[in-house]
Amino acid sequence: MRRCHAFAPAHITGVFSPELGARDPRARGSRGAGIVLELGVIAEVEWDPTRPPAVSVTSDLRGPLPISRDVAVRLAPAGNGRVRVRLTHQLPVGQGFGMSAAGALATAFSLSACFRIPRQRAVEVAHLADLYGGGGLGGVAAILGGGLEFRSRAGVPPYGRVVHRTFPRPLIVGVAGRPIPSPSILGDPRALRRIVAAAERSGLTRSAPSPTEFLQQSQAFTDQVGLAPTALRNTIQALRREGGWAAQAMFGQSFFTVPRSTLARRRILRWLERRGIRAVELHAGKAGATMAPDAR
């Protein structure tokens, strides 16, 4: 019996521009910028080579996990015993926190640790599963490191290029409505045109931003693309009035806000509590996804 585990961080996107024209899908995804979070997905693998061949993926959530299961089926050695993957999600799924990418990469890295699969292959399988499974456009590439990430070239390295910088400020993330499926937005030509135009105006697809530049341009991007439903848009505006930078976490009915001062932090937390809005204060993750063999 062998047990391995891995952790992959969640991630919020503030500005992005889809890049899907490359012939090699490993070079597809998006350019843009976001923050890698300290919370994410934990994957635990149990491999029993004495049992009949089987691969299963379960989690703390109800319903299937097709993207993570696709990763497990592709990476687990065929006919080599029973492989069980168990996922634990530390943030809501389908709300713009990049949890499908985190689940895919945590699954891939835990299997990589157990079966000595090359890291690059694990990364590529996770990226392709997330891309073709409708999870996101570049989340796997973003969470290979920590802090404030800037994707200057789409795809997973070495096809894509990602720069990571520290993001020292604590931030508050929360949910103001039901999930928004990524495919419904990516399949809307009008929405895509607004996204591309807003990303170009932001300048974040051309040069790596400072933390303040990222927050300012994320606010502008949120306003220009107009993807936030009314309740979320009203929440974001209120958080700005209370003294925070605030923007939509693409694509969810979720927000992230960074208070401009200690007083603003108290006002924001009090405002969220009074309205019963689910939110958590956390920090940017200092590192990207990690793996460990033989965890017991």
Task: Specify the pLDDT at position 249.
Answer: 95
pTM check: above 0.85: yes
Task: Specify the pLDDT at position 100.
Answer: 94
Task: Specify the pLDDT at position 118.
Answer: 97
> How many structural domains are present in the chain?
1
**Which residue do the tokens 């499908």 mark?**
100
CATH number at residue 274: 3.30.230.120
User: Mutual orientation of helices 66-75 and 99-115 as an angle, nearest 10°?
Assistant: 20
Helices (H), the chain: 66-75, 99-115, 119-132, 139-142, 182-186, 189-202, 211-225, 230-241, 262-274
Could you tell me the residue range of the domain that residue 163 belongs to? Answer: 1-296
Of 7, 9, 36, 16, nearest in space to 171 by CA:
36
Dump pLDDT digits (tens) for 198-223.
888 877 656 789 999 999 999 999 99
Task: Specify the pLDDT at position 62.
Answer: 84
Point out the residues of the chain with pLDDT beneath 50: 295-296
Task: Specify the pLDDT at position 181.
Answer: 65
